[in-house]
Structure 1
């Protein structure tokens, strides 16, 4: 009987010690300093400094070139739809991205006579024996000249590409959703 009581008291002491130690670990404050955001003047100075670098000079030259102007004009055509997150009717023109692209999975589309890259990011497939889940599975079933409806919040550009790059947030075909970007986890 004494042995059982001693064992119970010992286990209670061990468990309470673990709980107390765990509580202390959660209360530890991070020692990393949080960088304060740059002021407007500091951002402008950093931009001017970058524009003087070879990469900055090359980017400025691209912006002034006919290719850069064409990309910016394409972005301007869809900006209203991006802000409102409204539907854009598109036609699939190619099932692959331009050679040498590093955007992950994407397709080429035409919206109102203008070509765009519709990028979805890197493909993460969980191909195990029991689960063959691929978030882009229905997008792989698209064919050239298929009509789709796109919604996006973001368009970007890069001197490497001759087309504006639309981030694929939502795609539907024949009123059926075939892709919807999952919301970010653990962010603001």
Structure 2
């Protein structure tokens, strides 16, 4: 019986040592992978390097094309509102995204006679452990031609889409907030 107890204690010590050593290695790896931000010159060099890749060449061609210019000009029209996080009046034009879109839940909206993709990110199915769903339930009540107020911190453009992409941070209908993005928990 004593031998079994000693064997179990020895096994516990060995397993604890392996787990502790593995944890220490992971912590060191994480510390080593964190790097300081790139300088302006390094960012410019990285951009030049990327522009020489097939994806970069394709993007530059799209950017210079008529379709790319249309998307870029539409993005510029609302860039001041995006930068200042101010209200933008929009009308819902479609409750679905363009075919093949991989932006998660979203809809099409028109702001000042230009069309935009209003994306909210992936839609989580079901409910979480606190019995709340993902926050999109009131957005699902929107209908085509509904007038809404949008605020966003981010707009992007991609060759795959014929419209600028607005990340929905805040949506209001009839002076009632129907969606507000939760702040990031990691501070970024």
TM-score using structure 2 length: 0.80
**Cα offset, 1:113, TM superposition:** 0.2
**After superposition, where does 1:144-155 map in structure 2 within 5 Å?**
144-155=144-155
**Cα offset, 1:39, TM superposition:** 2.1
Corresponding residue pairs, total: 162
Between Structure 1 and Structure 2, whose CA radius of gyration is higher? 1
Are the counterparts in 2 of residues 125 and 132 from structure 1 also a CA contact under 8 Å?
no
Give the alignment's Cα RMSD to 1 decimal: 2.1
Q: Deviations over 1:96-123 (max 9, x none)?
A: 0000000000000000000000000001
Residue 173 of structure 2 corresponds to residue 187 of structure 1: no
**After superposition, where does 1:7-156 map in structure 2 within 5 Å?**
30-31=27-28, 32-33=31-32, 34-127=34-127, 131=131, 133-156=133-156
**2: CA distance between counterparts of 1:129 and 1:83?**
36
**Cα offset, 1:125, TM superposition:** 3.6
Please identify, of 130-139 and 79-88, the stretch whose mean Cα deviation from structure 2 is larger: 130-139
CA, structure 1 residues 141+50, in 2 after alignment: closer, same or farther (shift >3 Å)? same
Q: Deviations over 1:2-59 (max 9, x none)?
A: xxxxxxxxxxxxxxxxxxxxxxxxxx79423232222222221111111111111000
Q: Which runs of 5+ in 1 are unaligned?
A: 1-27
CA, structure 1 residues 128+165, in 2 after alignment: closer, same or farther (shift >3 Å)? closer
**Cα offset, 1:132, TM superposition:** 5.7
TM-score using structure 1 length: 0.80
Are the counterparts in 2 of residues 157 and 163 from structure 1 also a CA contact under 8 Å?
yes
CA, structure 1 residues 52+147, in 2 after alignment: closer, same or farther (shift >3 Å)? same
**1: CA distance between counterparts of 2:71 and 2:102?**
18
Q: Which runs of 5+ in 2 are unaligned?
A: 1-23
CA, structure 1 residues 128+56, in 2 after alignment: closer, same or farther (shift >3 Å)? closer
CA, structure 1 residues 157+186, in 2 after alignment: closer, same or farther (shift >3 Å)? same
